[in-house]
Amino acid sequence: MNFDENKIRATTKQDLSRKGSVDEPVLELVNYINQLNNYFTTSSCSGRICVYEPGNINCKKKGCIWLYTSHNLCSLHDMLDGLNKSEGNAFFKFEPFILHVQCRQLCDAQLLHRLAIESGLKNSGMSFGKSGKITVAVRCTLSLEVPLTKNGQLLVSKEYLTFLVEIANEKLQSNFAVIKRLANYFLSTLSISVI
C-alpha cells in the first residue's frame, strides 16, 4: 500500500481508542496535519492523568483496571474517588502528549522531527518500517508514575496526594503549552504544504 492509500485508510477509519475520539487539546493540530500533502496522523494523546490497577506486571493498557482517567486538570477529589475503588495495587500516572505521524518521504520526516525538537519535544524520534513507512513519534519527557495503594490500602498521606495532583496539573499545563508551541511551528513552517 502506498502513502496516499495509507493516508485515506488512516484518516477515514473508526477511532478504536477507549475514548473513541481525538482529544480536544490536540484536535486542531491533528486536523491540520491531516490536511497536509506529506503527513497524516496514525495516533495521538494530548496527555492524561490517571489512576489504575495493572492486571499484571506487564500491563500497558489492556488488562488494566482504570479507576480514574482525564485529559483535563485533576482535583484531589477526583483522585480520591478513583482510589476508593481500589482493591489491589493502584498507581497514579501522568502520561504526556504523544503524536505518531506518517511521512511521505525522509525529508518530510526530518523536517517534522526538527520542528518537534525545537518545540521542546526532546524525546521525539523517527522509525522506518519494512514496507517503507516513515513515522515520526512526537513525544516529550513529562511523565510521572507512583504507587499509591497496596492491596487496596492507601500507602501515602492526603498531603502527598495533594502534592501529586499539583505536580500532575503543572505537567499537564506544560504539556498543553508544548502542543500549542508545536502547532505554531507547524503553521508557520508547513503552511505552504497544505492541499
CATH of the domain at 35: 3.30.1960.10
What pLDDT is recorded for position 124?
Answer: 95
- What are the backbone angles phi and psi of residue 25, rounded to the nearest 5°? -60, -20
pLDDT band per the 50, 70, 90 thresholds, residue 170: very high
Q: Which domain holds residue 106?
A: 28-190
Q: How far is CA 151 from CA 65, 70, 99, 155, 159, in A?
A: 14, 24, 35, 10, 21
Instruction: Read off the DSSP letter of residue 157.
Output: -
Residue 101 has pLDDT above 50, yes or no: yes
Average pLDDT over residues 95-116: 94
Domain presence at residue 9: no
Domain presence at residue 96: yes
- The distance from CA 56 to its chain's CA centroid, rounded to whole angstroms, is 22
Domain presence at residue 81: yes
pLDDT band per the 50, 70, 90 thresholds, residue 26: confident
Domain presence at residue 7: no
- What are the backbone angles phi and psi of residue 18, rounded to the nearest 5°? -55, -40
Domain presence at residue 3: no
What pLDDT is recorded for position 126?
Answer: 96
Q: Which three-class secondary structure state does DSSP give residue 76?
A: helix
Domain presence at residue 19: no
Average pLDDT over residues 176-187: 88
Q: Is the pTM of this model over 0.75?
A: yes
Cβ contact 135:77 at 8 Å: no
Domain presence at residue 130: yes
Count structural domains, the chain: 1
